[in-house]
């Protein structure tokens, strides 16, 4: 009996399996492939040596060798898979982006693109309500001259009513002539001037936008906040039209359970003037910290346009009449979502923001 070329096959297989186990990288595996399963491997050498055997012995040996190859190839494929997985998690780990305290792990496209903030989405819903009622949406500048923010609104320089608005002044031109708008009412003036210039009265418009006041932030106030102004200038407009618009808006936006009330108020640009309040949605009228125990939350002011304002923009108050209102958008968001402290709107805590996606 000649000694079989396969007498050491078991040992060769053991050695090949050990080599496979010891592979530590995908590159190493690809490099070793020819000597493990390829042309330069012991298995291929043995394959060639079978040619010298008798046909029957060759068949047996061939079958043995095939089985050995299957075992080695399987182990090699498994190991390559493991190495590919290691390579993938290493790549993911190196994709980590450190942003201060925030660690974004495994950034992959498409990334979370974010969503409009609560104030922006509240503004859109408010616009929707008013557009459905026939108003158009218009915007005005955030930096205004004293004329637009005050004088044209019947608030002359040094008038005590200026105390209603704690104003940020911009260092531009003569002292205290340029301001960050303290309300959206100056946009009314722009709209009326434009309408007079283009002979396009009547006006039915709402004007949302950012406003600024030298206020200390608290549960109901922010120094940078948002208002939506409303303006109607038409023939034969009365206080009943104003009250109807406010009532319709309140029910459409806050739902039928929330009631509104108008209380006598004072604004230099409207006469008569009213303050517009709704039931506090946090305590449902019981009284709480947010509404200072009153059960009511003031949303804004309103009134019939004062003839002095029509005079300032050159509209004939004998022919035209109108009303205006201005509400806090942040306040609406706060009341609609029962946010006890408005400062949450500017803290940018993602746990808060994500609730409104």
The site for ligand PHE (CB under 6 A) is made up of 183, 185, 267, 270, 273, 300-303, 324-326
What does DSSP say about strands 224-234 and 97-99: parallel, antiparallel, or unpaired? unpaired
Q: How far is the CB of 102 from ligand PHE (least distance, A)?
A: 37
Q: How far is the CB of 229 from ligand PHE (least distance, A)?
A: 6
Q: How far is the CB of 146 from ligand PHE (least distance, A)?
A: 15
The radius of gyration computed from the CA coordinates of the chain, to the nearest angstrom, equals: 39
Q: How far is the CB of 182 from ligand PHE (least distance, A)?
A: 7
DSSP string, 298-343: EEEEEEEEPHHHHHHHT--TTT-EEEEEEEEHHHHHHHHTT-S-GG
Closest to ligand PHE by CB, 5 or 322: 322
Q: What is the DSSP letter of 169?
A: B
Q: How far is the CB of 99 from ligand PHE (least distance, A)?
A: 38
Q: How far is the CB of 236 from ligand PHE (least distance, A)?
A: 19
Q: How far is the CB of 153 from ligand PHE (least distance, A)?
A: 8
Closest to ligand PHE by CB, 195 or 302: 302
Closest to ligand PHE by CB, 5 or 301: 301
Q: Is the peptide bond before 143 cis (omega within 30 degrees of 0)?
A: no
348 vs 67: CA distance, rounded Å? 64
Q: Residue 276: which of 242, 310, 305, 252 has the closest Cα?
A: 242
Residues sharing a CB contact under 8 Å with residue 61, sequence separation 6 or more, in sequence order: 4, 5, 6, 50, 53
Give one word for 209, left, alpha or beta, with left for phi > 0 and alpha for psi -120 to 50. Answer: left
The label of the residue with tokens 């409207």 reads: 270
Closest to ligand PHE by CB, 12 or 210: 210
Closest to ligand PHE by CB, 250 or 273: 273
CB 84 within 8 A of CB 319: no
Residues sharing a CB contact under 8 Å with residue 235, sequence separation 6 or more, in sequence order: 202, 319, 320, 321
Closest to ligand PHE by CB, 266 or 356: 266
Closest to ligand PHE by CB, 129 or 302: 302
């Amino acid at each position: 009996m000649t000694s079989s070329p396969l007498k050491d096959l078991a040992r060769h297989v053991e050695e090949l399996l050990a080599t496979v186990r010891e592979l530590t990288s995908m590159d190493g595996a690809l490099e070793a492939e020819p000597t493990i399963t390829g042309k330069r491997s012991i298995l291929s050498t043995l394959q060639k040596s079978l040619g010298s055997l008798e046909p029957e012995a060759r068949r047996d040996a061939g079958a043995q060798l095939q089985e050995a190859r299957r075992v080695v190839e399987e182990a090699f494929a498994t190991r390559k898979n493991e190495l590919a997985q290691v390579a993938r998690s290493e790549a993911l780990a190196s994709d980590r982006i450190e942003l201060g305290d925030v660690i974004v792990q495994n950034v992959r496209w498409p990334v979370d693109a974010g969503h409009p903030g609560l104030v922006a989405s509240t503004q859109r819903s408010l616009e929707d309500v008013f557009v459905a009622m026939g108003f158009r949406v218009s915007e005005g500048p955030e930096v205004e001259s004293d004329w637009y923010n005050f004088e044209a609104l019947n608030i002359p320089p040094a008038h005590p009513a200026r105390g209603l608005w704690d104003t940020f002044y911009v260092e531009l031109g003569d002292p205290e002539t340029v301001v960050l708008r303290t309300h959206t009412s100056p946009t009314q003036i722009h709209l009326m001037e434009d309408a007079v210039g283009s002979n396009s009265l009547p006006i039915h418009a709402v004007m949302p936008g950012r406003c600024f006041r030298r206020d200390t932030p608290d549960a109901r106030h922010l120094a940078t906040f948002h208002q939506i102004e409303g303006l109607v200038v038409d023939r034969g407009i009365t206080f009943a039209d104003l009250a109807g618009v406010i009532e319709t808006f309140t029910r459409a936006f806050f739902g039928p359970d929330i009631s509104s009330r108008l209380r006598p108020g004072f604004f230099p640009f409207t006469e008569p003037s009213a303050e517009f309040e709704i039931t506090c949605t946090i305590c449902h009228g019981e009284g709480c910290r947010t509404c200072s125990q009153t059960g009511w939350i003031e949303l804004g002011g309103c009134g019939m346009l004062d003839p002095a304002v029509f005079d300032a923009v050159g509209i004939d108050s004998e022919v035209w009449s109108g009303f205006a209102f201005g509400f806090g958008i942040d306040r609406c968001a706060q009341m609609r979502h029962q946010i006890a402290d408005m400062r949450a709107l500017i803290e940018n805590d993602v746990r808060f923001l994500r609730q409104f996606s």
